[in-house]
A = this chain, B = another copy of it.
């Protein structure tokens, strides 16, 4: 079996900007090849030969020229015109220095439903291509007029029986129709598969043309079984490039370098997923096993983050430590550690300057920090080393797509733990009923960031994304997708809003970017935790509890207990329960949540999101000393 991984390629249509911008972005992200999407060449002001030499200078191959549309099985005189058109495109290919043309199945009404005719036409085109040393790959478009399955395309290629004609497979065109590659290895010799294009997509119920043209994304960002697809083409013996062809409205509008890096990351991740007896594993270390959140770090601009420590006190947090060498405090309650970092000249100070008071780092407990760092680096992530004082522990860190750091902590490592090594710990007890840990960390993202975040956390940390859902803010919809590790120890709902007026949109505006919008703390008894504490809890209207009674048939005393503490309630189909309350926000920025899960409830109370968001739109931010 030849060496794997296969060469990695990307179609220029995936990226924004001019054709030179696209080539440069693909090369700098580490791709070995690009497909030239014809409209990108047509709009380029310069000869194809210039693109050829530019690609050569960048060290990337032009793997394919695409697409050639509506060619086969048409009546004369269209047939002759199409062959003339092909000759002109062969000229362009020779100038570009690529030998492979993608011919996609005809979508025109005038196309004739006759595989023999299609085969004859393709054979003639292949004969002409061969005369110039070129090859053709025939691909079944999911919305082809008569040919939309790979098996039909293969049947036509077999009939045409020309050495310069082969098959091109595309994961979207196959998977979007619910088709699979079952039988491919038995029916198609590997060397007759000339090229493989990959795209993932969210599962959407819409016509496949629109779905394809606007909503494709990179493997790992969507919900299609792209890994199974790829495994099947490898099993058939295909050893050519794996090439991304993704039409996505958001990607077209985003910086090309960022999208190119996400694209390459998706293929590196895919390589690792493909590891199986039949396919040698790619050299990517396994994802870390996660043990929860060790601490969250806030960038602040004074001791105790000025008012932030007072805000934390209302929830029962207390100052539990002072850093040995830095203006950094540890605030703690039960299993929750919050670090308030006011150290000048630190990563936190840089974060504060850009974003104001906010979470600048999240520390995750991992089984092997060095291995996790290697994996992150192999996945093209930036890493960070903070300067440390003598005797202090160095914590390796990965930079997340929002610019915050994800610190990797091994709780079981030998030596003193991070708190003992770096902090003067202060004595003190936690009252009973205190918080157990961090239940989830919710991010607010700027538009166009969702797919990149999902891929990052899936690839680097092995978090699995839930299907997307919509949450109704009174000022617009918030699109939400939650991610979690298989054991549910690290949970991250990701939210994005088109409107800048929603709670999510306002936070992104205030932060000038994405960030941690709220942190949920887990407790075994939410009502007990809140009782008599006087925390600045978000006020939930009576009408909510009226409806809750009608929906769930809760007994009046239960309802009254919830209502007293402004607790929200949800119940899943299996009877699992979720009881939770929110604080008002700190400086109209982030806020906290108190969460009690019962009976295996695995969600985030999405049914209550509308009530919460409407209450937030009314509520004033917390004021020290105020209500």
Contacts and interface: CB of A to CB of B under 8 A. Distances in A.
Interface stretch (A216-224, A487-495, A525-533, A613-621): A613-621
A248 to B, nearest CB: 10
A614 B21 CA distance: 12
A553 B78 CA distance: 11
A355 interface: no
A42 B544 contact: yes
A18 B43 CA distance: 48
A522 to B, nearest CB: 26
Interface string A443-465: 00001000000000000000000
Contact of A543 (B17, B48, B501, B618): B48
Residue with the greatest number of chain B CB neighbours at <10 A, chosen from A210, A550, A618: A550
A356 interface: no
A171 interface: no
Interface in A25-49: 38-39, 41-48
A610 interface: yes
A471 B546 CA distance: 49
A608 B41 CA distance: 14
A16 B475 contact: yes
A206 interface: yes
Interface in A538-555: 539, 541-544, 546-547, 549-551, 553
A144 interface: no
Nearest to A539: B45
Contacts of A43: 474, 541, 543-544, 610-611, 613-615
A550 B501 CA distance: 49
Interface stretch (A80-88, A114-122, A302-310, A407-415): A80-88
Interface of A: 16-18, 38-39, 41-48, 81, 84-85, 88-89, 92, 204-207, 210, 213-214, 249, 252-253, 447, 470, 472, 474-477, 498-499, 501-502, 539, 541-544, 546-547, 549-551, 553, 610-611, 613-615, 617-618
25 contacts: A16-B501, A18-B618, A38-B547, A39-B472, A42-B544, A42-B611, A43-B541, A43-B543, A43-B544, A43-B610, A43-B614, A45-B539, A47-B542, A81-B553, A85-B551, A88-B546, A204-B210, A205-B207, A206-B206, A252-B476, A252-B477, A252-B499, A253-B477, A253-B498, A253-B502
